Structure 1
Amino acid sequence: MNNQIAEQSIVAGRMTKSKEIAVVAFLIAIGAVLRMFSPAILGITPNFVIAMYCLAILLIRPKIGPALGIGIVAGAVSMIFSKSPIPYLNLASEPAGALICALMACYLPELSIKNYSFKPILATLVGTMVSGGIYVVLNFQLALNLPVAAMQAAFIGVVIPVAIVNAIIAQALYAPVKKFLYR
């Protein structure tokens, strides 16, 4: 009887909780390794942790609590591998980005052409911009007390390019990873 229930939940397009946890852990770990070893491009290091937690959220579509949990774990991992002067700010910025991504994943109407979803590019773009925006505001205004112009320059020069890269990564990986997980 339990096997039938498990098979029905997988057939219905849902993963078991243990598989969901494994997917999140695996993707965040991949993001951490990529972030640790990726070189800066024009002084900017892509934040692969954000791209991977957004991908995980888009794949498993968690509720608010689990999405915040994913963001907290991603923030803790980002602290370890951060190249920024104040890494603990990730504990505020990553849960916010994860929450926005989860809200968009669950409530944004499906944006697709012939079963190819474009929701990943939009949710990851906005999630990264929220996370990066909060990080920039906390870093520049509260911690370093730098002028607003410096904050704006960091947002335009760092957050937006990283958000675009993350969105492209999540969009490119979404369909093949989804197909692999739900086969």
Structure 2
Amino acid sequence: MSNQQISGQVVAGKMSRSKEIAVVAFLIAIGAVLRMFSPAILGITPNFIIAMYCLAIVLLRPSIGPALGIGIVAGAVSMIFSKSPIPYLNLATEPSGALACALLAAYLPEISIKNYSFKPAIATFIGTLVSGGLYVVLNFQIALQLPVTAMQAAFIGVVIPVALINMVIAQALYLPVKNFLFRS
């Protein structure tokens, strides 16, 4: 789906493929640096990589294939900067989160107040829940074989707060980044 096909959601005008790749790479790199140097807040480290790839997806509105590619790259980068015990699980979880975000960016009806879209917040929140939820299930049920109560506690105590933080980050950055990228 090109930017020109999305009436009023992303500014009219087509971005070159190389510029789209640069935007994705830049945002994921920013997320990686922030993740690497951010301290834990009440035991939770925000996952800026997810926030940034969701922001890229909401801005660029890639089709399913490129969205999965963004997720795979984000998963590989997440492995390097992971603070989790089983970092390679990111290769499954990040593409899943990217796919969920891309589907919401493409098919969720516009939710806005006076042309201020809340789609970035919703898509990022759900994308983070999918990624984090899958990570918790894979980590706790398959790898560590811990009880369901531990999985539920991790989801409520870590995944939901991280999803809320990512939602705020993506929403706050959406309009300034969109205006910068798509200025006439």
- Which segments of 5 or more consecutive residues in structure 1 lack a partner in the other structure? 1-7
Residue identity opposite 1:40 in structure 2: A
Could you say which residue in structure 2 is the equivalent of 1:98? Answer: 98
- Which segments of 5 or more consecutive residues in structure 2 lack a partner in the other structure? 6-10
Count of aligned pairs between the two proteins: 175
Post-superposition Cα deviations, 1:119-146, rounded to whole Å, max 9, x if no partner, equal: 0000000000000000000000000000
Could you say which residue in structure 2 is the equivalent of 1:147? Answer: 147
CA RMSD across the alignment: 1.3
Structure index of larger Rg: 1
TM-score, reference length from structure 2 = 0.93
Residue identity opposite 2:71 in structure 1: G
- Asked if residue 68 in structure 1 is aligned to residue 57 in structure 2, the reply is no
Could you say which residue in structure 1 is the equivalent of 2:53? Answer: 53
Residue identity opposite 2:20 in structure 1: E
Could you say which residue in structure 2 is the equivalent of 1:84? Answer: 84
* Structure 1 CA distance for aligned equivalents of residues 126 and 90 of structure 2: 17
Residue identity opposite 2:80 in structure 1: I
* Structure 2 CA distance for aligned equivalents of residues 173 and 12 of structure 1: 19
* Structure 1 CA distance for aligned equivalents of residues 108 and 130 of structure 2: 16
Could you say which residue in structure 2 is the equivalent of 1:122? Answer: 122
Q: Percent identity?
A: 83
Deviation >6 Å, runs of 4+: none
| CA positional deviation for 1:18 | 0.6
Residue identity opposite 1:91 in structure 2: L
* Structure 2 CA distance for aligned equivalents of residues 12 and 115 of structure 1: 15
TM-score, reference length from structure 1 = 0.94
Higher helix share: 1
